[in-house]
């Protein structure tokens, strides 16, 4: 990934669309943005120290973002040095705030932040910018616009794509969705990102199937086992349940495991956000229909490049939409999809 690439459009690589592609890599589209912003009045230096703070060090998703950040540093020829930090779990918001405050006090040349909260980190971010340290945010948008650049998925639109595909799968399976039920399994009730995903899915599935019933969202506090238990309960209590949506990979893991144990793969269509080895295996085995894969590698890579540009005083795009890809059994072996699923191997 030598160039700074961000897509304006949601990339849904279904089998049909992939068959029409002649390239191994997805085409780049212009970045979606608000007005370009000045990163500051910095003067170009020979080297830059950038700290990348993620939401959870235990998460494979956020580790992939760090791979992208480190790749940007590796390709800089010594110009960029990346330091990484973050709490173990996304539930430890206070720990992340402390890490950010300590980072600001250490005065790096730039900070790339995947904030757990839209509000808790705002004071430290504003303090950093006031001190001349540019901040690039990824994923969760903050309740302030002082950041140099924000890179994120359009979560509602991506989730709506899952709803569209779910409706298509019912038709392909000969399932009449009228009067049936769908469930939403969420990792966290307080996350704006998860809220956008769940609402985007629910709104679109009701639009696609006006007579369908969307059950109350089940919240699992980032716990895969709880997602499994909640899915078990839903399957047992609702014999007319035909669809399940999970708003992150841990929810997808739990959903897939429950579908496997209950032998419900033929009657329940299921999608989840993000990817991990458990989800990938579940798709191959028919226990999960598909996953919406973001580009954390690209976010990390481009986030580092953007914050260095801002530190140099160059203009950067204020808001950038990152691409997503719908991965199913039909397209998961395609080279472009493999690069998203296994960025450390490609």
Q: Which pLDDT belongs to residue 20?
A: 37
Q: Does 139 fall in a domain? A: yes
* Residue corresponding to tokens 């969202």: 217
304: its two tokens: 């580092």
* Same structural domain, 81 and 189: no
Domain containing residue 316: 25-152+296-321
Cα distances from 140 to residues 43, 116, 300, 342, 346, in angstroms, run 29, 7, 14, 23, 27
Distance CA 125, CA 169 (A): 44
Q: Does 71 fall in a domain? A: yes
Q: How many domains does the chain have?
A: 2
**pLDDT digits (tens), the chain, 346 positions:** 444 443 433 343 343 333 333 333 333 333 333 445 555 445 679 999 999 999 999 888 899 999 999 999 999 999 999 999 999 988 899 999 999 999 999 999 999 999 999 999 999 999 999 999 999 999 989 999 999 999 999 999 999 999 999 999 999 999 999 999 999 999 988 888 899 999 999 999 999 999 999 999 999 998 999 999 999 999 999 999 999 999 999 999 999 999 999 999 999 999 999 999 999 999 999 999 999 999 999 999 999 999 999 999 999 999 999 999 999 999 999 999 998 999 877 6
Are 59 and 90 in contact, with CB atoms under 8 Å apart?
yes
255: its two tokens: 């959903």
Q: Which pLDDT belongs to residue 154?
A: 96
Distance CA 86, CA 95 (A): 8
Q: Does 235 fall in a domain? A: yes
CATH assignment of the domain containing 141? 3.40.50.2300
């Amino acid at each position: 990934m030598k160039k700074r690439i961000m897509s304006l459009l949601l990339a849904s690589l279904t089998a049909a669309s992939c068959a029409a592609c002649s390239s191994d890599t997805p085409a780049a589209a212009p970045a979606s943005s608000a007005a370009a912003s000045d990163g500051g009045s910095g003067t170009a230096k020979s080297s830059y120290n950038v700290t990348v703070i993620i939401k959870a060090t235990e998460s494979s998703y956020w580790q992939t973002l760090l791979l992208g950040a480190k790749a940007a540093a590796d390709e800089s020829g010594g110009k960029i040095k990346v330091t990484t930090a973050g709490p173990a779990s996304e539930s430890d918001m206070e720990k992340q705030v402390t890490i950010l405050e300590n980072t600001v006090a250490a005065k790096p040349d730039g900070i790339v932040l995947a904030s757990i909260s839209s509000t808790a980190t705002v004071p430290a971010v504003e303090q950093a910018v006031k001190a001349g340290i540019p901040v690039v945010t990824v994923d969760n948008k903050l309740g302030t616009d002082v950041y140099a650049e924000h890179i994120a998925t359009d979560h509602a639109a991506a989730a709506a794509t899952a709803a569209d595909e779910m409706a298509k799968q019912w038709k392909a399976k000969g399932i009449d969705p009228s009067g049936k039920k769908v469930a939403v399994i969420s990792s966290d009730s307080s996350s704006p990102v998860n809220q956008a995903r769940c609402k985007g899915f629910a709104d679109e599935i009701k639009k696609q199937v006006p007579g369908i019933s969307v059950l109350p969202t089940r919240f699992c506090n980032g716990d895969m086992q709880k997602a499994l238990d909640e899915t078990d309960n839903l399957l047992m209590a609702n014999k007319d349940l035909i669809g399940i949506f999970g708003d992150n990979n841990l929810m997808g893991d739990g959903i897939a495991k429950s579908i496997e144990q209950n032998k419900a793969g033929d009657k329940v269509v299921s999608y989840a956000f993000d990817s991990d080895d458990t989800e990938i295996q579940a798709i191959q085995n028919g226990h999960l229909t598909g996953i919406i894969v973001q580009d954390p590698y690209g976010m990390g890579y481009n986030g580092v490049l953007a914050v260095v540009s801002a530190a140099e005083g160059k203009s950067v795009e204020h808001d950038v939409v990152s691409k997503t890809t719908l991965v199913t059994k039909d397209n998961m072996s395609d080279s472009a999809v493999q690069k998203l699923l296994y960025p450390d191997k490609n």
